[in-house]
Protein backbone atom coordinates (compact mmCIF):
# COMPACT_ATOMS: atom_id res chain seq x y z
CA UNK A 1 0.00 0.00 0.00
CA UNK A 2 1.66 3.26 -1.06
CA UNK A 3 2.07 6.18 1.30
CA UNK A 4 1.43 9.51 -0.36
CA UNK A 5 3.39 12.41 1.09
CA UNK A 6 1.64 15.12 -0.82
CA UNK A 7 -0.32 14.26 -3.93
CA UNK A 8 2.64 13.34 -6.14
CA UNK A 9 5.17 11.51 -3.95
CA UNK A 10 4.34 7.82 -3.40
CA UNK A 11 6.38 5.78 -0.92
CA UNK A 12 6.18 2.03 -0.29
CA UNK A 13 7.21 0.35 2.95
CA UNK A 14 9.27 -2.84 2.90
CA UNK A 15 9.62 -5.70 5.41
CA UNK A 16 12.75 -3.91 6.69
CA UNK A 17 12.00 -1.24 9.31
CA UNK A 18 12.71 2.23 7.88
CA UNK A 19 13.56 1.06 4.34
CA UNK A 20 11.26 2.70 1.81
CA UNK A 21 10.84 2.56 -1.95
CA UNK A 22 10.08 5.92 -3.53
CA UNK A 23 8.34 6.03 -6.92
CA UNK A 24 8.18 9.63 -8.11
CA UNK A 25 5.31 10.79 -10.26
CA UNK A 26 6.51 11.55 -13.78
CA UNK A 27 5.08 14.37 -15.84
CA UNK A 28 5.52 13.43 -19.51
CA UNK A 29 4.84 15.22 -22.75
CA UNK A 30 6.31 15.35 -26.25
CA UNK A 31 9.47 17.04 -24.93
CA UNK A 32 10.29 14.30 -22.43
CA UNK A 33 9.56 14.12 -18.72
CA UNK A 34 10.03 15.91 -15.40
CA UNK A 35 9.93 14.68 -11.81
CA UNK A 36 11.02 15.73 -8.35
CA UNK A 37 13.73 13.33 -7.26
CA UNK A 38 13.80 14.77 -3.75
CA UNK A 39 11.68 17.17 -1.73
CA UNK A 40 12.65 17.41 1.94
CA UNK A 41 9.23 18.51 3.19
CA UNK A 42 7.43 15.68 1.45
CA UNK A 43 10.00 13.07 2.48
CA UNK A 44 9.55 14.21 6.10
CA UNK A 45 5.78 13.79 5.75
CA UNK A 46 6.49 10.18 4.75
CA UNK A 47 8.52 9.69 7.96
CA UNK A 48 11.99 10.18 6.48
CA UNK A 49 13.53 12.75 8.84
CA UNK A 50 17.00 12.55 7.33
CA UNK A 51 19.02 15.62 6.35
CA UNK A 52 21.42 14.87 3.52
CA UNK A 53 24.90 16.44 3.44
CA UNK A 54 26.67 14.75 0.51
CA UNK A 55 25.74 13.65 -3.03
CA UNK A 56 27.78 10.97 -4.83
CA UNK A 57 27.72 9.67 -8.39
CA UNK A 58 29.44 6.66 -9.97
CA UNK A 59 29.79 5.28 -13.50
CA UNK A 60 29.98 1.52 -14.08
CA UNK A 61 29.76 -0.95 -16.94
CA UNK A 62 27.94 -4.30 -17.10
CA UNK A 63 28.97 -6.74 -14.40
CA UNK A 64 30.57 -4.21 -12.05
CA UNK A 65 29.60 -5.05 -8.49
CA UNK A 66 30.27 -2.43 -5.83
CA UNK A 67 29.83 -3.45 -2.22
CA UNK A 68 28.76 -4.45 0.23
CA UNK A 69 29.81 -1.23 1.99
CA UNK A 70 28.88 0.63 5.17
CA UNK A 71 30.37 3.10 7.62
CA UNK A 72 30.68 2.18 11.28
CA UNK A 73 29.09 4.29 14.03
CA UNK A 74 29.33 7.14 14.80
CA UNK A 75 29.90 7.85 11.09
CA UNK A 76 27.13 5.57 9.79
CA UNK A 77 25.23 6.82 6.75
CA UNK A 78 21.62 6.75 5.60
CA UNK A 79 21.32 6.85 1.81
CA UNK A 80 18.80 7.69 -0.87
CA UNK A 81 19.92 5.81 -3.99
CA UNK A 82 18.82 6.01 -7.63
CA UNK A 83 19.93 5.29 -11.18
CA UNK A 84 20.29 8.12 -13.69
CA UNK A 85 21.32 5.89 -16.63
CA UNK A 86 20.92 2.14 -17.07
CA UNK A 87 19.84 -0.52 -14.58
CA UNK A 88 21.23 -2.04 -11.38
CA UNK A 89 20.34 -4.66 -8.85
CA UNK A 90 20.52 -2.64 -5.64
CA UNK A 91 21.01 -4.68 -2.48
CA UNK A 92 21.13 -4.04 1.26
CA UNK A 93 21.94 -6.21 4.28
CA UNK A 94 20.45 -5.38 7.68
CA UNK A 95 23.20 -4.96 10.30
CA UNK A 96 20.87 -3.92 13.15
CA UNK A 97 20.83 -6.77 15.71
CA UNK A 98 17.67 -5.44 17.39
CA UNK A 99 15.64 -5.90 14.20
CA UNK A 100 13.93 -9.16 13.17
CA UNK A 101 15.52 -8.71 9.71
CA UNK A 102 19.07 -8.67 11.13
CA UNK A 103 21.43 -10.53 8.78
CA UNK A 104 18.84 -10.64 5.98
CA UNK A 105 19.09 -8.95 2.59
CA UNK A 106 16.71 -7.08 0.33
CA UNK A 107 17.17 -6.28 -3.34
CA UNK A 108 15.41 -4.08 -5.88
CA UNK A 109 16.01 -3.25 -9.52
CA UNK A 110 16.55 0.47 -10.01
CA UNK A 111 16.68 1.93 -13.51
CA UNK A 112 16.33 5.01 -15.65
CA UNK A 113 13.06 3.47 -16.86
CA UNK A 114 11.30 2.80 -13.54
CA UNK A 115 12.81 5.86 -11.73
CA UNK A 116 12.48 4.06 -8.40
CA UNK A 117 14.66 5.15 -5.51
CA UNK A 118 15.51 3.32 -2.30
CA UNK A 119 15.84 5.01 1.07
CA UNK A 120 18.29 3.04 3.23
CA UNK A 121 18.51 4.10 6.90
CA UNK A 122 21.69 3.82 8.95
CA UNK A 123 22.61 0.29 9.94
CA UNK A 124 22.75 -1.40 6.53
CA UNK A 125 25.51 -2.62 4.25
CA UNK A 126 24.82 -1.54 0.66
CA UNK A 127 25.93 -2.66 -2.77
CA UNK A 128 24.81 -2.76 -6.35
CA UNK A 129 25.44 -4.68 -9.56
CA UNK A 130 25.40 -2.98 -12.98
CA UNK A 131 22.97 -4.86 -15.25
CA UNK A 132 23.19 -2.63 -18.34
CA UNK A 133 26.14 -1.73 -20.59
CA UNK A 134 26.48 1.64 -18.84
CA UNK A 135 25.22 2.80 -15.45
CA UNK A 136 25.24 6.17 -13.76
CA UNK A 137 24.36 5.62 -10.10
CA UNK A 138 23.67 8.52 -7.73
CA UNK A 139 23.04 8.68 -4.01
CA UNK A 140 22.57 11.14 -1.19
CA UNK A 141 24.17 10.53 2.23
CA UNK A 142 23.27 11.97 5.61
CA UNK A 143 26.84 11.79 6.92
CA UNK A 144 30.17 12.58 5.30
CA UNK A 145 32.40 9.80 4.01
CA UNK A 146 35.17 8.98 6.48
CA UNK A 147 37.80 6.42 5.41
CA UNK A 148 38.60 5.66 9.07
CA UNK A 149 35.09 4.27 9.55
CA UNK A 150 34.54 2.48 6.24
CA UNK A 151 33.82 -1.24 6.37
CA UNK A 152 32.16 -3.94 4.35
CA UNK A 153 31.03 -7.52 3.87
CA UNK A 154 31.96 -9.96 1.10
CA UNK A 155 29.54 -9.97 -1.83
CA UNK A 156 29.64 -13.79 -1.94
CA UNK A 157 29.21 -14.43 1.78
CA UNK A 158 27.89 -18.01 2.10
CA UNK A 159 25.86 -17.26 5.25
CA UNK A 160 23.96 -14.49 3.44
CA UNK A 161 23.45 -16.60 0.29
CA UNK A 162 22.83 -13.57 -1.94
CA UNK A 163 21.50 -14.21 -5.42
CA UNK A 164 22.99 -11.47 -7.60
CA UNK A 165 21.38 -13.00 -10.70
CA UNK A 166 24.61 -12.93 -12.72
CA UNK A 167 27.21 -15.74 -12.91
CA UNK A 168 30.17 -15.07 -10.63
CA UNK A 169 32.63 -15.28 -13.54
CA UNK A 170 30.92 -12.28 -15.17
CA UNK A 171 31.31 -10.05 -12.11
CA UNK A 172 33.88 -7.26 -12.06
CA UNK A 173 34.91 -6.61 -8.46
CA UNK A 174 37.65 -4.46 -7.00
CA UNK A 175 40.48 -6.17 -5.13
CA UNK A 176 39.45 -4.16 -2.07
CA UNK A 177 35.90 -5.58 -2.19
CA UNK A 178 37.20 -9.12 -2.77
CA UNK A 179 39.18 -8.81 0.48
CA UNK A 180 36.23 -7.75 2.66
CA UNK A 181 35.44 -10.01 5.63
CA UNK A 182 32.53 -12.44 5.85
CA UNK A 183 29.48 -11.54 7.93
CA UNK A 184 30.28 -14.25 10.49
CA UNK A 185 33.67 -12.63 11.10
CA UNK A 186 32.24 -9.20 11.93
CA UNK A 187 28.73 -9.77 13.27
CA UNK A 188 29.92 -9.63 16.88
CA UNK A 189 30.85 -5.98 16.32
CA UNK A 190 27.14 -5.11 15.92
CA UNK A 191 26.03 -6.71 19.23
**% of the chain residues with pLDDT over 70:** 95
Give 114's pLDDT tier (boundaries 50, 70, 90): very high
For the residues 170-178, what does the mean pLDDT come to? 97
* Residues 48-101: tens digit of each pLDDT: 999 999 999 999 999 999 999 999 999 999 999 999 999 999 999 999 999 999
Would the pLDDT of 6 be above 50?
Answer: no
Q: For the chain, give the mean pLDDT.
A: 93
pLDDT score of 3: 44
Q: State the Cα–Cα distance between residues 17 and 116, nearest whole angstrom.
A: 18
Tell me the per-residue pLDDT of 8-55, one tens digit each, with 9 for 90 and over.
558 999 999 999 999 998 999 999 999 999 999 989 999 999 999 999
Mean pLDDT of 118-144: 98
The model's confidence at residue 4, banded by pLDDT at 50, 70 and 90, is very low
Greatest extent of the chain over all pairs of C-alpha atoms, in Å: 55
The H-or-E segment that residue 34 falls in is: strand 32-34
Q: So which residues are the catalytic ones? A: 69, 139
What does the DSSP 8-state code read for residue 182? P
Is the model's pLDDT at 2 over the cut of 50? no
- pLDDT value of residue 191: 58
Interval 131-152 mean pLDDT:
97
Domain extents for the chain? 52-190
Ranges assigned E (strand) in 40-149: 54-61, 65-71, 79-85, 87-94, 105-111, 117-120, 124-130, 134-141
Euclidean distance between CA atoms 137 and 159, whole angstroms: 28
CA distances from 75 to 47, 98, 143, 148, 160 (A): 22, 19, 6, 9, 24
Choose among 55, 36, 56: nearest CA to 46: 36
Check pLDDT > 80 for residue 1.
Answer: no
What top-level class would CATH report for the domain 52-190?
mainly beta
Q: Is the peptide bond before 68 cis (omega within 30 degrees of 0)?
A: yes
Q: Do residues 35 and 24 make contact, with C-beta atoms less than 8 angstroms apart? A: yes
Amino acid sequence: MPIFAGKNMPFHDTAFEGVKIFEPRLYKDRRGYFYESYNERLFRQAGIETSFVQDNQAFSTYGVLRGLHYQKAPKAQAKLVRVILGEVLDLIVDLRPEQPTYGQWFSLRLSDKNHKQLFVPRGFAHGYLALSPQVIFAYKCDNYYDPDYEAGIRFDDPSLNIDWGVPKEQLIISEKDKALPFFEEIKESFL
